[in-house]
């Protein structure tokens, strides 16, 4: 199969105006992906499916990713004149990146037996602008998975034939897979709580005003020594 750079170059030639960026993956999987702009995502996806040498006719997986607002700190070594001498100084720049949601598609070719090619599309923000073009009409298998992303991440897919919640009930308003989701408090009965569960369960504990302070005796014997 062609390299990602070749695919990017050919797709940009085939779809005029398309802006494609390669998102590198430095992890052991080495699965870098193509980030496609929203306006041309549909046309690029059609190119990936119909191009005779690529023919990515099978979309095996669609998933969502939630990226919160984040600050990226970059430290660059700069040469500066300090007291008439040239010295190397570390310069730190902070870049604020507003949050967004992503849909990631894993594409394979049944015809040529190659893949995966991974493409991403990003929403403008995590609020009203959480919209993406639906690729269901190109890969029919994306239908349920785009519904799942809509259900759990709250991304609206324009052009989807049947955009409803698929796992949660229709009356539900939250998006549970978002990183800022807070689950309902039903921790009233936790027999063996620990860590975060302990913190949540403690809100339901009954206080015992009749205690005489004996419960404060610790293994170290602090209360006894005082």
User: Which residues of this chain interact with another protein, rule CB under 8 A?
Assistant: 167-174, 176, 181, 183-184, 186, 188-189, 191, 197, 205-206, 208, 211, 215-216
Question: What is the smallest separation between the CB atom of 122 and another protein, expressed in angstroms?
Answer: 25
Sign of CA dihedral 65, 69, 75, 76: positive
Q: Which is nearer to another protein, 52 or 191 (CB)?
A: 191
* Cβ distance to another protein smaller for residue 28 or 213: 213
The tokens describing 31, both together, are 């699965």
Token representation of residue 27: 């992890």
Query: Would you say 16 or 207 has its CB closer to another protein?
Result: 207
Query: Which H or E run contains 91?
Result: strand 85-97
Minimum gap (Å) between residue 162 Cβ and another protein: 18
Query: What is the smallest separation between the CB atom of 153 and another protein, expressed in angstroms?
Result: 14
Alpha carbon distance 35, 184 (integer Å)? 35
Minimum distance of another protein from residue 220's CB (angstroms): 17
Closer by beta carbon to another protein, 128 or else 183: 183
Least CB distance to another protein at residue 176 (A): 5
Structure-token match 């070749």, residue found: 6
Q: How far apart are CA 124 and CA 38, in angstroms?
A: 9
Q: How many CB atoms lie under 10 A from the CB of residue 206?
A: 4
Write out the two tokens for 68.
């919160």
* Closest CB to another protein among residues 96, 208: 208
- Dig out the tokens for 185 from the structure: 């408090």
Tokens 């040529």 label which residue? 112
């Amino acid at each position: 199969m062609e390299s990602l750079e070749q695919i990017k170059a050919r797709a940009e030639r085939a779809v005029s105006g398309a802006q494609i960026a390669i998102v590198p993956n430095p992890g052991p999987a080495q699965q870098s992906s193509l980030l496609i702009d929203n306006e041309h995502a549909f046309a690029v996806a059609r190119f990936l499916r119909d191009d005779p040498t690529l023919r990515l006719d099978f979309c095996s997986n669609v998933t969502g990713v939630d990226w919160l607002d984040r600050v990226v700190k970059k430290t660059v070594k700069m040469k500066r004149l300090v007291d008439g001498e040239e010295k190397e100084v570390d310069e730190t720049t902070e870049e604020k990146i507003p949050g967004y949601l992503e849909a990631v598609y894993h594409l394979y070719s049944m015809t040529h037996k190659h893949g995966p090619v991974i493409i991403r599309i990003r929403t403008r923000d995590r609020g009203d602008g959480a919209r993406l073009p639906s690729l269901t009409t190109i890969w029919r298998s994306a239908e349920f998975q785009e519904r799942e992303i809509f259900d759990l991440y709250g991304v609206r897919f324009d052009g989807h034939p049947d955009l409803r919640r698929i796992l949660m009930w229709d009356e539900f308003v939250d998006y549970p897979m978002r990183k800022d989701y807070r689950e309902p408090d039903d921790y009233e009965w936790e027999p063996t709580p620990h860590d975060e569960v302990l913190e949540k369960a403690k809100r339901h504990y009954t206080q015992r005003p009749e205690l005489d302070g004996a419960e404060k005796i610790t293994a170290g014997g602090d209360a006894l020594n005082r």
